[in-house]
Structure 1
Amino acid sequence: PFFGLLDSQLPTPDGRARMNSTLSPHRGLSQEQRLAGLVGGAHISTELPQPFKTRRGPAPIWSDESCEMWAGLLRAMNAQGKPYSCLLPLPGESFIMIEEDGAQSIDGIELDRQLPLRDIAVWLSNSNRRATVSDWKSFLIALSSVTRELPPMQEEQWGPWMGRAGWAGFDAPNLLMSESIRGGSTHPYFEWIGKQCDESPDERTSIGYIARMNQNLMCEVEGRPSEAWLEILEDDEKVSEMFNSMVAPRLVVMDYELHFLVLRNGRPCTIPITIDPKVWRVLVSWALEPPDSRGAEKLRYLFWCWSSEYEDWRPSTRQLRSTKMLRSTIESLG
């Protein structure tokens, strides 16, 4: 009642047990070591979408001039706390535009949310790190799709924020509906695919519908997310079930840096993610999967199990006080 979470968003004993089994070998290590252990399974890289995989063959040209442009942005952000308006290269001949108001686009594709630009600038200011992912444009569009910007907030605001910032498992009750019933609450996978299509959404055609009508692109990017979603698109009953589920965000951008959300001492907090796209790409891939898939479940249960095996979200002192006052008022009215 305090946090506004649906039953489907709460942890189950079986789900906790699976996640705790995964995390158990890494408990007691540093945050970076634990993350590396979590995403470092031998089979995980084979399940990544093709654009996220390490580039084979010659690495894309990445000049000292390009590195210095990103290093300049990093220096400015460290000094001023925000990026300046500029056009910056990405490995693979794409460009990211940063507007005066902070809006960002890649090769003209507008991003709905801020990227962790400080982290990206750290990575791309070194010429030896360009080949970590094979398609930086597609990867960064996906990163923007799965993350949410995290504003400063009081303890009691976490639950409502998760509701507002989350998304439906599916944005329409059936495949034939082209309009988005859930408003802007499109699953990140379909936002990612839709933004790479030639068509643009309008009042009658959602970005999710555009993505679903371009299943060739879904097949082309490959990986576990596409495989799982293509299977769901063959099952009308599953689509309807997904429509009635909601997903809370787990990856957030704060001060232009990438974090994930966990419970600690009974309340949500942020954990900085290692500045390494080899880690990012696994977490992003998990966030692109359908809500009940293996990767999505891991990302979901990181929140509940990262700090301890049986962490619980507890109401704040103010929330408990308000409850007692309400109960007293009701009892006094007889």
Structure 2
Amino acid sequence: MKAAAWLRWESMLALVLVGEFVVFSMLTPYFLDPLTLSDATFSFTERAVIALPLALVIISGDIDISVAGIIALASVAMGLAAAEGVPTGGLVAIGLATGLAAGIINGALVTIGRVPSIVATIGTMSLFRGIAYAVLGDRVLKNYPASFTHLGQGYVFGLVSYELCIVVVLALIAGVVLHFTRWGRCIYAIGSNPVAARFSGVAVNRYRLMLFAATGMCSGLAAVLLTSRLGSTRPSIAQGWELEIIAMVILGGVSVWGGKGTIPGVLMAAVALGIFGFGLSLLNIPGIVMSIFVGALLIAVVAVPAIGERLRIGARP
């Protein structure tokens, strides 16, 4: 393997992932147990479902901070429907449709309303979460059918869960779209220079709207899986997930300025962060440590390359 390959972001993430397995297997004898590793996948699958389409949004030069609010809204919609006796198929459809509608609202604000995506989605984040609290208050909805809870708790075969299979399928779809189709080339072009992309004949706003819609629908899917796994709905569901999901995308090598990033990098970052958090929980380390780590990591991943680029430019004769 060429030396340059080892310097690729994905290669470094792979080394980090291997290091995590080595360290945690030394610190706790339970880490490498197959059942434990199967449980560990649930620490990243639902977040990865959103991180994959969100990576496309950020590569295109936008951002969506409302994803956890969409989960709360979709979960409340499913909980209310379940209380009325709606079967599993209907609940899944309601979750996906709620997420899709929320994503279209975000996309419309950005493309038609011309609101900066960070401003628009901060607003809708509060809106969606606020609606969930307004509807439920301090109530918890638990009237879900047994077949629904199987979606987030069941296994396709052996110790391979439905959630893990869904993530793999979505990663393949996102990878093919981004790296092997005209769609992907247009997404990179929009993120690099939206004005030039528009003059090249790319329907920039149409792509942006569809990316927000896809992210919203995947947030609805994550709501289905998370609600199914927990077996209940409360307005605080997925509180604070925005930071963790964005961290997965940025740690995966996606540039916050758009135009750069890969799906394999995002997938490996999702696994690495999930395994790290799960390993800390096995060691009974408080969750706040994970929050501190994610915050510091985000600052480092964004700031260090920028500082390095400035130093490089300043060093030119």
Fold shared, TM-score > 0.5 on shorter chain: no
Q: Bigger relative contact order, structure 1 or 2, given CA contacts below 8 A and separation 6+?
A: 2
Calculate the TM-score normalised by the size of structure 2: 0.31
Which of the two has greater strand per residue?
Answer: 1
